[in-house]
Amino acid sequence: MKKNLIIIGAGMASGRALEEVLDQDGDSWNVTLFNAEPCGNYNRLMLSPVLSGEKTYEEIITHSADWYETQGVNCRFGEKVAEIDKVAKTVTSETGDVLSYDKLVIATGSNPFIIPLPGHDLDGVIAYRDLEDTERMIALGSKPDAKAVVIGGGLLGLEAAAGLKARGVDVTVVHIMGHLMERQLDEAAGYLLRKALTDRGIKVMCSANSKEIVGDDGQLRALLLDDGTELPCDLLVMAVGIRPNVALAQDAGLAVGKGIHVDDQMITSDAHILSLGECVEHDGAVFGLVAPLYEQAKVLAKTLIGEPATFVQKEVSTKLKVTGCDLFSVGDFADGEGREDIVFRDPARGVYKRLVIEGNKLVGAVFYGDTSDSNWFFGLIKDGEDISEMRETLMFGPSFQGGDPLDPMAAVAALPDDAEICGCNGISKSNVVAAIQAGAHTLDAVKATSKAASSCGGCSGLVEQLLSVTLGDDFAMPEKETVCKCTDLSHDEVRKLIVAGKMKSMPQAMQEMNWSTPDGCHVCRPALNYYLVCAWPGEYADDGKSRFINERVHANIQKDGTYSVVPRMLGGITTPNELRAIADAADKFNVPTVKVTGGQRIDLLGIKKEDLPAIWYDLGQAGMMSGQAYAKGLRTVKTCVGTDHCRFGTQDSTGLGIKLEERMWGAWSPHKFKLAVTGCPRNCAEATCKDLGIVCVDSGYQILVGGAAGLDLLEAQLLAQVATENEALEYSCAFYQLYREGAQYLHRPYKWINKVGLDWVKDQIVENPLNRKALADRFHYSQQFFQVDPWAERAIKGKDAHEFKPLADLTDLPVAAE
């Protein structure tokens, strides 16, 4: 007699299992197949090509009505199972039919997760799981000017977005994490993917938090983000993850964790009930891709037939099915001890490949742009092959015999022809290449014929690289000092490439400049962050994690881990009220040391990190802001009393100092920048050893630059003498900007002037009024973004609150009775 087999769910996993059972032991079973969807098994993976129009639904049907009929399967499609009684061994369908089984298979798949945002139940909010969802999206394409928002920048979300876009819909992807597909891709590959999607017109917002879905009369209107942005849309697709569909099993009293517990034979906690697919949990893992489900199907079929079989979890790989975005990810690509990365980047082709090696084995791989050999690498990982023999050439794939080495010239080669190589003289890449092709085969010859590199010299490195790219082996690249071991480029080259290549984020910069590590090191990250901050004010989002702790928490760390706090006192001027507020704060927060600094202001030392926001709040109430005594940026402007009080004073040195500090506070620079304005050549404010010092004289203002009184003692040199205060301000701001734009990170102005020459600096500022004004204008433009008191942001708006509180305090946990 035939045994009754009931299967709940006609999805991809049970479909494969059914084929196996019918194939190997068809005569023993009387099969009834329930499915909540009104159809049989189709290839769910291929919904994306259906959505984008590359396939039709008919083409993706796995089991047709004919097939079921020939196989003698009783189909109950569009009918859900409502209940399982494992004692009576029966199931009850939603229509009330009761059927008994000998064996039951639960294959209910998973449910898309819907974030319970206000408005999630509005009409127009859908998931991306089945044919019905796909049809909703396709229908939107025929509406003129249709807009859609996809929440979730993972595999499903991006496939939905690409499909909608292909249907002519205006799509925005809203993703909560910093980069797309963060579970499968590292930042670099995430950046390239984002670029490819943006290029095809899909808007992508990362680090974006959804707050509310708004609608009119139950009909969706827009998505609201927590920063206030409103994204109008006709359809909102939530693709933020799936949850195993365990409700039936749970109600039936089966063992359920994240999914329905199954053993290695796919048997649940009840011997007559088996389960497979996305609804199960095996050895702590749940599943979201089909490859392991097909393995489960084979094992489940064997178990039903009564043959031994064991399900073993294996590595799975991910590919995105968006035409034109080739990406592949497999295994574990986290950094770690004993792990080594091999990174290959080709900025010109938009290729990024990363292999992660542990011991003699390949354990992970991420590829973007060129996935041709991905299966070979996948095989190496799955089989745990020893790769020590081919390590050197591994990156180049199976067909390698003699591939290209990493190319330090790639970033320059990838620049567009009109990219500016020499800012001083306005010379583009094509001009330089033309000069080289016309016979200028040395740096000096290029300087002479094209003028490139003939001024500050900051672009010499790039010109040399162009010589090398154009002439090949005929040009010997000179040795140079690179930023750090993560790159072959020098600071000057990096600075210039960021501007010429319009690089506006850290992952973009690292990709386009061929960084050899996935995310840099403590040497290059702060430098890159500064170069990006300086190049793209208002556009680049500062990366606090690339800043030294003082700049991250806006206070100076002390040797015992406490901090010191120095409020700004413009030009060294304070008031009784400010002094009282400082005294009150010192009392309130038990500040152990209050000191007058060498920079004409007051330092509160020994403050606990947690107290920082509170003490800033109090100081802020008295009108004070951060003195940025920690910043690679503007520090102090020291002044003397000048004409206000001193019998020798020639100009209002105090007033000019205050004006300078008002304009300059908040600015970031390659290193600290200190000023002083002194009322006469007696120099009580020590202006002659500052980065920029002004000595007031009867006839006006002497502007001195490049002084220092730290590790090196250097007298500042005369840049110019001007007649009016306004000129003094313009020259000063122009000088600061020239230094900000040109110097290498951690070089004080004197080091930079040594390199470019004081004459060149004079040329830029004194001899060239238009350029001077342009520099000052750029300075003021960028200041509108940087003159935000970091203390107020943290004390009042709660920015970076996590920095100031311990995660947990376990020192006073109640101790259980012994």
Partner 1 sequence: MQSEIDMSQYIDIGTLEDIPQRGARVVRTPEGEIAVFRTADDQIFAIDEWLPGKAGPLSNGIQHGTCVTDPMRNWVFDLRSGVAQGADDGHLRVWDLYLQDGRIFLTSEVLGAARVTS
Binding to partner 1 by residue 521, rule CB under 8 A? yes
Partner in contact with 558, chosen from ligand SF4, ligand FES, ligand SRM, none, beta carbon below 5 to 8 Å by kind = ligand SRM
485 vs 580 by CB, closer to partner 1: 485
CB contact burial 360-381 (16+ within 10 A = b; e otherwise): ebbbbbbbbbbbebbeebbebb
Contact string 615-654 vs ligand SRM (x = CB under 6 A)? ------------x-x-----xx------------------
Most distant CA pair in the chain: distance in Å? Answer: 119
- Candidates 214, 194, 213, 527; CA nearest to 368 is 194
Binding to ligand SRM by residue 561, rule CB under 6 A? no
- Candidates 761, 774, 551; CA nearest to 669 is 551
In the bound complex, what is the minimum distance in angstroms from residue 240's beta carbon to ligand FAD? Answer: 13
- Residue 646 in marked binding region: yes
What are the contacts of 371-376 at 24+ separation with CB within 8 A? 371/319, 371/326, 371/327, 371/328, 372/397, 373/397, 373/398, 373/399, 374/317, 374/319, 374/328, 374/330
Decide if 716 contacts 705 (C-beta within 8 A): yes
Contact string 773-802 vs partner 1 (x = CB under 8 A)? -----------------------------x
In the bound complex, what is the minimum distance in angstroms from residue 757's beta carbon to ligand FES? Answer: 11
DSSP state of 230: E
Given candidates 485, 545, 580, 682, which one binds ligand SF4 under the rule CB under 6 A?
682
Distance in Å from the first CA to the final CA of the chain: 63
156 vs 761 by CB, closer to ligand FAD: 156
Partner in contact with 455, chosen from ligand FES, ligand SRM, ligand FAD, none, beta carbon below 5 to 8 Å by kind = ligand FES
- Candidates 425, 424, 426, 447; CA nearest to 435 is 447
- Residue 680 in marked binding region: yes
Given candidates 70, 207, 437, 558, which one binds ligand SRM under the rule CB under 6 A?
558
Partner in contact with 34, chosen from ligand SF4, partner 1, ligand FAD, none, beta carbon below 5 to 8 Å by kind = ligand FAD
Decide if 44 contacts 127 (C-beta within 8 A): no
Given candidates 260, 696, 708, 722, which one binds ligand SRM under the rule CB under 6 A?
708
333 vs 739 by CB, closer to ligand SRM: 739
- Residue 75 in marked binding region: no
Checking DSSP bridges between strand 273-275 and strand 103-106, what pairing results, if any? Answer: parallel
- Phi, psi (deg, nearest 5) at residue 581: -65, -40
Partner in contact with 709, chosen from ligand SRM, ligand FAD, ligand SF4, none, beta carbon below 5 to 8 Å by kind = ligand SRM
Residue type, 490: S
Contact string 317-356 vs partner 1 (x = CB under 8 A)? ----------------xxxxx-x-----------------
124 vs 458 by CB, closer to ligand FES: 458
**Binding positions for ligand SF4, 644-663, rule CB under 6 A:** 646, 648-649, 653
- Candidates 617, 626, 624, 631; CA nearest to 801 is 617
- Phi, psi (deg, nearest 5) at residue 322: -120, 120
Q: Which positions lie near ligand FES, rule CB under 6 A?
A: 422-425, 452-459
Partner in contact with 566, chosen from ligand FAD, ligand SF4, ligand SRM, none, beta carbon below 5 to 8 Å by kind = ligand SRM
159 vs 391: CA distance, rounded Å: 35
Contact string 537-576 vs partner 1 (x = CB under 8 A)? --------xxxxx--xx---x-x-x---------------
Partner in contact with 11, chosen from partner 1, ligand FES, ligand SRM, none, beta carbon below 5 to 8 Å by kind = none
Stretch that binds ligand SRM, among 317-325, 407-415, 640-648, 702-710 (CB under 6 A): 702-710
List the structure tokens of 19: 């084929």
**DSSP character string of 529-577:** HHHHHHHSTTTS---GGGS-HHHHHTSEE-TTS-EEE-B--GGG---HH
In the bound complex, what is the minimum distance in angstroms from residue 295's beta carbon to ligand SRM? Answer: 58
List the structure tokens of 687: 């202006």
115 vs 151: CA distance, rounded Å: 10
The beta strands (E) that lie in 9-159 are given as 29-35, 74-77, 81-85, 90-93, 98-100, 103-106, 110-112, 125-127, 147-151
- Residue 684 in marked binding region: yes
Binding site for ligand SF4 (CB under 6 A): 640-642, 646, 648-649, 653, 678-680, 682-684
Binding site for ligand SRM (CB under 6 A): 556, 558, 564, 566, 595, 597-599, 601, 603, 605, 627, 629, 635-636, 672, 674, 708-712, 748
Binding-site positions for [4Fe-4S] cluster: 640, 646, 680, 684
